[in-house]
Structure 1
Amino acid sequence: MRGEKTTTGYGITVKSVSNSDGKINVLVEETNPDKNSVLSQVVTYPYTIIETDIPSCDIAVKNSNGKNYSYYDIERSLPPIIGISWASGNLKNIYKENNFIFLQIENSNGVSQFFYLNDNDDGKNKIKDLKLDSNVTIKYALGTPQKYKNNSSFPLTEIMLPVDKSSFTDKNWKDLGYFKNSDKNMQWTLSYDNELMKENINNSNIYVVDSNGTIIPTQASLTDDKKSIRVTPLKPYTAGETYYLFIATDVTSNIKVSNQGFRMQFQVSVQ
């Protein structure tokens, strides 16, 4: 998937899948609209789905221009994740129609996106703490869209409420300092003396928020030696914005501290 595009005309296809010495190489081709084309000014989400039998090994994805894309390991015991994306914005409305609950999220550019979940006990439980006009982060699947008032909506899988900004100064979190970097896709590596348990490496224990407390989509993954955690943004950070990385003590029982965890403030410098 190529993420959110502001017009039609974008596409992505898989050209080949090959096995080279135990490493799966996936070659994709991305197409962009011609500069002189007349395009519909609607938000689109170009993606393609393929199915192939592959062993449990390293997977590398590269486009025809040579750009490499990260692949995040998926537990083989879980259903395959076909396509996942994220959106952040202001919760404008919640609608119910045809056994679905629809959420309207407006991003910082004033563009609305719609997401849906089933109107059942599980769906109602996911939205029970939501308040209109609050900033939320949505994790959704690029699965079968539903229509709401001629708007395509994607299936919602997770809703993350903003973090209370008092946690930026809460003394129950131990500060790790302040850092500044010019890389909008900067990746943090957290190193420990002892091995960590994979089930503790999740978005509840390790997360990044902006200065408004809005959760920023990131992926926390355990390295092969199980002694380090990599925190990678799933969308580029914004230059000039201040962010906070939180690491809860639940990540490991090897650290004995009398606080909730660790907090690090960082900023992407303006070029």
Structure 2
Amino acid sequence: MNRKNILIFTLIISAISAVPANFVKAQEDQPKVISAICSKPPQGITTNELKPYVLNEKEIANVFGNYSNEIEKLKLHSGYYVFDNEKYGLEASDIYVLISLGKRNSTGYGINVASVEDVEGISKIAIQETKPSSNDMVGESITYPYIIVKFQQGTQNVKVITESETELSPLVNSSELQEQNWTDIQARLNVPINKEWLITFKNNILKENISDDTIYVRDSRGYKVAVDLTVGDDNKTVKVTPADKYEEGQTYYLFVSKTTNSQKDSTNKIKGYRMAFNILGDVTIGDVE
């Protein structure tokens, strides 16, 4: 790899008053508390328990058969997608949400829905990842576990929370390109179509905290773009490589987010870091005045 094609920028995490534990130091022997996800909110907050239904493969084909290619692209990433009822021809009273785990290196992974609640107009979906045990016979092939869950009486204002209390990011989110609660890094112009970014952190990072929920790329429409993330042996660097070449002349956005943890700093609203970059494109005489 040509070192000239690698940009190194340092994220000054330690300057923030409450450094996310996921980027610096894991709390030792911290138990997974499922009840914290499903627990009732304080009195005074209106909560309605909803009845989720997970579609099987045949039902997915019947409901979304005309959009199978779109679903195949969405499930490549970790996150969630709320289907637009009008676009997909769905009943107005139904809410459909695709939830995916992203890339896994074997079969045997899946998603359970622990609960769905409407909390003050937010449909909160709590999920648990199922993993193969040491005794399970699994195939050594790349898989992309996902589900499509359906419920009624909720809203399309959705949050998806894992058993470790991490909030999944939406697979499509155009508003995130302009949100004010990100620290913007100077945009880069005319970069190669196979550009690899090298992110350097000031403090050590944990490999298990690096995923396409914490470091990801969106295109100009807000869709997540498939990238490969490689943590360096020094545990301070992450290389971001496009799974496919970027499109010439297009603009993309690299996000480095701060993950949630049990000791949140309510005074710090910054989500993380964002950098726009534009892909080098051919110029013709007709484009120049």
TM-score range, shorter chain: 0.3 to 0.5
- Relative to its length, the structure with more helix (as a share) is 2
- Relative to its length, the structure with more strand (as a share) is 1
TM-score (norm 1): 0.45
Higher RCO structure (Cα 8 Å, ≥6 apart) = 2
